[in-house]
Structure 1
Amino acid sequence: MKTHVEMPLPTDRRVRVWFGEHVIADYTAEPAKAIRYQAAMTRRFYSLRVTIEPAVTDADLS
């Protein structure tokens, strides 16, 4: 089965939940939704690291 994956926009943010060096959740969305998701994941996984960063890096644009 193929899944259609849209390319993130330059304004999108990527939220990841980390268990040590392993990513256990990865979510990309517009900034407002990403911030809400980050807040929810921080509450849910209060002992894990939750990061938010631009979804598109300079390397992706080249």
Structure 2
Amino acid sequence: MTVLVDGPPPAERRVRVWFGEHVIADYTAEVADAIKYQAGMTRRFASLRITLEPATSAVDEDAADS
């Protein structure tokens, strides 16, 4: 199970390129680099959905207990 960790807002952003309900590209980077990547993917894949969202810290619950 994955648990989101509370804390300060992430300094990184996650860019995903979607083909329908399937993610075909997933990129996480600092804000400036993520924005550049999003712009490039938008030009290349104009008909696909491109999302840019804060990267979240996910921790496996079993790993958190050890």
TM class by smaller structure? 0.7 to 0.9
What percent identity do the matched residue pairs reach? Answer: 73
Larger of the two Rg values belongs to structure: 2
Residue number in structure 1 paired with 2:44: 44
Residue number in structure 2 paired with 1:27: 27
Q: Which runs of 4+ in 1 moved over 3 A?
A: none
Q: Number of paired residues?
A: 51
- Residue aligned with 2:24, SS: strand
TM normalised by structure 1 equals 0.76
Q: Provide the aligned C-alpha RMSD in A.
A: 1.8
Q: Distance in 2 between matches of 1:23 and 1:40?
A: 16
The one-letter amino acid paired with 2:51 is: T
Higher RCO, Cα 8 Å, sep 6+ = 2
